[in-house]
């Protein structure tokens, strides 16, 4: 469903996935840049999960599930199955996205395995929350693990609906067998589009929060959103906002996503060095 789609702290969430130009290690790059790239890779992959889940939620609300059937399936390069306990108990619903042995989606990413979502209540309900887990789930050869939770927190002082997002025990295992760990807590504030729940093209979110992780070199770091990330359904890139990445005994890296222009550009600043980077999905 549209709104869930951009609960995006994650858009977040398309929170808006990010991978800094190449994610392969370069001996000429500083450790700070390597940490930033690994953080970008894990953020991209977990935000990709968010988008896939939101699309499944939209299917559940408006396409597959008609409020009467116990279960239904939809096959479009993947199978989405929705079930609830019995005809008199609609919640919780279990949504399984099954990519089988491999499926290349519209954005060119190959996914396989299963994403399992357990949903309690409608997303606009004050009691709404959902959990997401994985069953041998891979994106482009990267195995994804962890538990994601989203909770409806009601309305804030600005009268905007907002949601909390958390990731625990998050891990990416690269095709080379290297492990990247990640945990986060985020808030996504729904600033535009709530009045058109069946159309997500006008959804916009502001995302705040922090994450921690360990990169492929076993270096621990923290990632904090300094200026809220502006995310819109109409743009696959983060429109604006800044992120600070801090690792022990390393210089702080700042990623700046710009001035609300929809493009694949961002800048990384480390000390007196400022680099423009291209972001790819």
Is the pLDDT reported for residue 16 higher than 60?
no
Virtual CA dihedral for 7, 8, 14, 16, nearest 10 degrees?
170
Q: pLDDT, tens digit, for every residue of 127-138?
A: 889 999 999 999
Tens of pLDDT, residue by residue over 84-126, are 877 677 788 898 999 999 888 776 788 999 999 999 987 778 8
Residue 219 confidence (pLDDT) above 60: yes
What is the per-residue pLDDT across 150-169, written as a single tens digit (0 to 9) for each?
A: 999 999 999 999 999 999 99
What pLDDT, on the 0 to 100 scale, is given for residue 117?
94
**Across the strands, what pairs with 129?**
120, 151
In this model, does residue 6 exceed pLDDT 50? no
Average the pLDDT over 42-64 and give the result. Answer: 73
**In terms of C-beta distances under 8 Å and separation of at least 24 residues, what long-range contacts does 213-216 make, across chains too?**
213/38, 213/39, 213/42, 213/170, 213/180, 213/181, 213/182, 213/183, 214/179, 214/180, 214/181, 215/34, 215/35, 215/38, 215/39, 215/180, 216/25, 216/34, 216/38, 216/174, 216/178, 216/179, 216/180
- Grade residue 241 by pLDDT with cuts at 50, 70 and 90: very high
Round the average pLDDT of the chain to a whole number and report it.
79
State pLDDT tens for residues 177-210. 989 899 999 999 988 877 776 666 678 889 999 9
Determine the longest span between alpha carbons in the chain, in angstroms.
Answer: 63
Percent of the chain having pLDDT more than 70?
79
Give the DSSP per-residue string, 25-51. Answer: --TTS-HHHHHHHHHHHHHHHHHHHHH
- State mean pLDDT over 239-266: 88
């Amino acid at each position: 469903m549209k709104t869930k789609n951009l609960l995006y702290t994650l858009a977040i969430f398309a929170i808006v996935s990010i991978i800094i130009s190449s994610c392969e290690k370069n001996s000429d790059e500083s450790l700070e840049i390597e940490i930033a790239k690994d953080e970008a890779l894990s953020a991209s992959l977990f935000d990709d999960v968010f988008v896939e889940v939101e699309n499944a939620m939209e299917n559940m609300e408006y396409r597959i599930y008609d409020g009467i059937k116990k279960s239904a399936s939809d096959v479009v390069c993947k199978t989405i199955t929705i079930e609830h306990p019995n005809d008199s108990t609609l919640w919780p619903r279990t949504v399984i996205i099954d990519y089988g042995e491999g499926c290349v989606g519209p954005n060119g990413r190959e996914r396989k395995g299963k994403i399992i979502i357990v949903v309690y209540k409608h997303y606009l309900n004050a009691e709404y929350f959902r959990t997401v887990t994985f069953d041998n789930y891979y994106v482009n050869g990267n195995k994804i693990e962890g538990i994601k939770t989203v909770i409806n927190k009601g309305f804030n002082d600005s009268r905007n609906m907002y949601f909390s997002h958390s990731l625990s025990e998050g891990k990416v295992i690269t095709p080379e067998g290297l492990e990247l760990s990640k945990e986060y807590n985020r808030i996504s504030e729904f600033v535009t589009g709530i009045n058109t729940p069946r159309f997500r093209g006008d959804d916009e979110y502001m995302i705040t929060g922090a994450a921690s992780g360990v990169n492929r070199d076993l270096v621990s770091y923290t990632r904090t959103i300094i200026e809220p990330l502006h995310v819109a359904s109409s743009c696959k890139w983060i429109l604006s906002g800044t992120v600070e990445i801090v690792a022990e005994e390393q210089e702080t890296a700042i990623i700046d996503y710009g001035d609300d222009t929809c493009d694949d550009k961002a800048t990384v600043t480390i000390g007196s060095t400022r680099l423009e980077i291209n972001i790819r999905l």
